[in-house]
Chains A and B, each alone.
Chain A
Amino acid sequence: MKNTFSLALLHLSFCFTFFALTHISAMELHGHGANLIETTCQRTPFYNLCVSTLRSDPRSSGADVAGLARIGADKLKAKATATLRQITALLKVTKDPKLTTALRQCVDYYNAIVKYDIPEAVEAVVKGDPKFGVEGATDAANEADACGREFKNQPKFPIYGSNKAVHDLSAVVASIVQLLL
């Protein structure tokens, strides 16, 4: 009996070690979770932003590249929508006419981003014609860029941070969708 017990314990130990090691290789083989996010984000211009954005969504751990693109687009939509709200809120309280003009232009750019660019990107990824997703996401980055340039000669750029986040995240999404071509 004691021999059986020893054998069992030993077997248990080996089994456990084997299990732990194969689990690790399985993770690597299927690009599970963390690894695919990192390799994908390496192909984007803003690695840190890409990784933190994707990881913040629980869906990312089981997602393939198309899934990661989807997550990125969803996060981008949230950020862009919030920024648009920020802009319209500022418009209500701003008295400076130059600032008002700039903000009004940005409303147009952000409408394009939220209502057209991002839905286009999502549809392209989901339906399998990714080049239109690259177009949409790239255009979103360019629209954010255009908004930023409205403030070039202005003393204040109240939405700088959000706008940069939208720009950078758009560029990230465009790069991820590019991988699907």
Chain B
Amino acid sequence: MVDTRPFLPVSSSDGSNPSEPLANRCKTMKMRLSIFFGLLVVGLFAALLTSNVTENEHGSLASSTTAKPEPLRRVSRGPGAGVSEKSNWLFGRDDENGVAFPWNNSMLSWQRTAFHFQPERNWMNDPNGPLFYKGWYHFFYQYNPHAPVWGDIVWGHAVSKDLIHWLHLPLAMVADKTYDKSGVWTGSATFLPNGKIVMLYTGSDAQAVQVQNLAYPADHSDPLLINWVKFTGNPVLVPPPGILSKDFRDPTTAWLTSEGKWRFAIGSKINKTGIALVYDTKDFITYEKLDGLLRAVDGTGMWECVDFFPVSKTEENGLDTSVNGPDVKHVMKVSLDDDKNDYYAIGTYHEKNASFIPDDPTIDVGIGLRYDYGVYYAAKTFYDQNKNRRVLWGWIKESDSEAADVKKGWASVQSIPRTILLDQKTGTHLLQWPVEEIDSLRLNSYEFNQVKVQAGSVVPLEVGPATQLDILAEFEIDKEALEKATGSNVTFSCSSSGGTVERGALGPFGLLVLADDSLSEQTPVYFYIAKGSDGNLKTFFCNDQSRSSEASDVKKQVYGSMVPVVEGENLSLRVLVDHSIIESFAQGGRTVITSRVYPTKAIYGAAKLFLFNNATEAGVSASLRIWQMNSAFIRPFPNLDNKSQ
């Protein structure tokens, strides 16, 4: 009889052996036993050998215990080990500034913004479901009610008549269902033809699977949309086959197809290829997943907060999300989980196979242009039917330490909402500009005409308090110097440059924001013109945080990008300064940079504004209009209990 059990434990000798007495054949028995034990040894040896191999691959490891204390390496927030890291706190060499900064309450409370949206306390991240309804702009957002770090996420809610003066409302949705128990995450609103609103949002369910849920206002006659109802049949979508349970989030606003169905996209990834899945639905309850993807780009990783919308090629107004046609281009935007930046591509939408083809595949979604070259993520647009414009929201997180956030009791702000348009002059860029309603915050203004700033000089601008400002500036550079400058084939980039201490023939020049009198703290917002060996000029627009603060536990990077300058254009800037946030727009918003800065001295009355020119050869002349900005007095909605709910 042959033993039919395939695997026997190593040490088993439990008598399953059906054989019988052996005494008669001692000699043969010994041989067979030797074979058995021989094979046993072979097996064991093989096992041992395999595990030895893996150990040897690592060889001898460097001793990790040293008797002498060595300086700790600051860890950047970028990719892990193996990638060259630029310390994100201290620009350049380690430990230059020594001891960590002892923040005091005066410094910390100065950091809070006066006219940017932020909740009264604690943590905020992604904008959610922005919309205009019955006379109010609504803004929802990812919120942690318990701490100034991400966690326990629910939906915060605020309303405004003008996108600037916000009033806080009660939380719109909390994590009270199994399908969003682990988090009420990002979602978008869609208007139905009858004017009703549906909200599709991601829930991290009780098993931490990412699912899509439907919610809608409890009472459509309530202009404040205070109460929300979650569809009893949730979740309406779960991760499809081939998609991991933690790679399925942030559904977009839906748009109508020519068949009268609703269509939306949702980001995901397959290995390291970022993708956008597409679904069609008639009722937001049952969905049909399309076979094709809206777009996929290798190496970009997980696509968060996908946004997809039309822009007019001919008009300077916004378009409803469902619009398509020959005078329309489409914009596809993604937030890349891997590098925490927002990217967009301009291209064409083909409804038939629900695909997006970028105009220029070399700058495809996720590998080309960014909305903003500073701190800006999870951005989302909505069509504002009130003023026929498309409005963009973006989350601006902190650039300081979490310990400081804990001390001050809050973290993150939103950018000022921006209108977004196709740049008709270039056709390759979008233009972003703060919504016009922000002009209502302007108080007294200061005008400066043709101020000459010679190469290597700084000119103070007397504008009174300099922590809440709206600055419009135009620069003209000395034409002769432009022509005479020798070109080189050295490529320039803001982020790898030494900031404003690195002098070129034709730059840097611009503004020093939140600077103290002695310039020990300063945040330059500036242009740098590089001349190629072929004589062609390239203009760069940068923000230099490296000397923004004497504190060592804040980010000290240089941000920015090349900005296209069209023939006949002057170099122009708009800068919004609001305490610890600076939003800067070059060439009408063709290139935008948002920075967070935390000066320790250049605060309150000690903060000043300067023009500067650190070029070696070219003089510049600047004309500016600068306004003091009022606070937006963002606060809780008054007397809410008396309002009908």
Contacts and interface: CB of A to CB of B under 8 A. Distances in A.
B54 interface: yes
Interface string B57-72: 0100100100001011
A99 interface: no
Interface string A103-142: 0010011011001110110011011111110111011011
Contacts of B285: none
Interface string B72-94: 11111101111000000100000
Given A13-B36, A128-B245, A149-B552, A34 B51 contact: yes
Interface stretch (B42-50, B420-428, B571-579): B42-50
Interface residues of B, number: 77
Contact of B401 (A21, A146, A167, A181): A146
Nearest to B335: A131
Nearest to B402: A139
A145 interface: yes
Contacts of A163: 72
A175 interface: yes
Contact of B337 (A1, A117, A123, A131): A131
Interface in B291-342: 301-302, 337-338, 340
B76 A6 contact: no
A43 interface: yes
B550 to A, nearest CB: 14
B40 A16 contact: yes
A170 B32 contact: no
A20 B76 contact: no
Contacts, number: 219
Contact of A9 (B36, B47, B302): B36
Contacts of A127: 182-183, 204, 208
Given A141-B75, A181-B301, A16 B43 contact: yes
A178 B20 contact: no
A2 B1 CA distance: 11
Contacts of A111: 403, 406
B490 interface: no
Contacts of A43: 80-82
Interface string B236-251: 0000000001100000
B95 interface: yes
A126 B51 CA distance: 31
Contacts of B7: 15, 19
A4 B278 CA distance: 65
Contacts of A146: 100, 401, 403, 552-553
Nearest to B81: A45
A106 to B, nearest CB: 10
A25 to B, nearest CB: 9
B150 interface: yes
A160 B81 contact: no
B235 interface: no
Interface residues of A, number: 81
B56 to A, nearest CB: 12
A167 B71 CA distance: 11
Contacts of B28: 2, 6
Contact of A126 (B75, B208, B552): B208
B403 A124 contact: no
A71 interface: no
Nearest to A124: B150
B25 interface: yes
B17 A167 contact: no
A40 to B, nearest CB: 11
A157 to B, nearest CB: 6
A124 B64 CA distance: 30
B8 interface: yes
A128 B204 contact: yes
A78 interface: no
Nearest to B22: A5
A6 B250 CA distance: 66
Interface stretch (A46-54, A55-63, A80-88, A89-97): A46-54
Contact of B149 (A1, A45, A128, A136): A136
Contact of A131 (B6, B74, B149, B340): B340
A99 to B, nearest CB: 13
Given A4-B18, A123-B151, A178-B80, A46 B204 contact: no
A142 B73 CA distance: 9
B149 A24 contact: no
B432 interface: no
A142 B553 contact: yes
Contacts of A153: 98-99
B100 A150 contact: yes
Interface of B: 1-3, 6-8, 10, 17-20, 22, 24-25, 28, 32-33, 35-36, 38-40, 42-44, 46-47, 50-51, 54, 58, 61, 64, 69, 71-77, 79-82, 89, 95, 98-100, 102, 147-152, 182-183, 185, 204, 208, 210, 245-246, 301-302, 337-338, 340, 401-403, 406-407, 552-553
Top 6 A-B residue pairs of the complex, sorted by shortest distance between their CB atoms: A128-B246, A5-B19, A175-B80, A20-B43, A146-B100, A112-B403
24 contacts: A1-B19, A2-B28, A8-B2, A10-B32, A10-B35, A11-B3, A13-B35, A16-B43, A19-B6, A20-B44, A20-B47, A23-B47, A24-B51, A43-B80, A48-B61, A112-B402, A112-B406, A116-B148, A116-B149, A127-B183, A128-B245, A135-B150, A152-B99, A178-B80
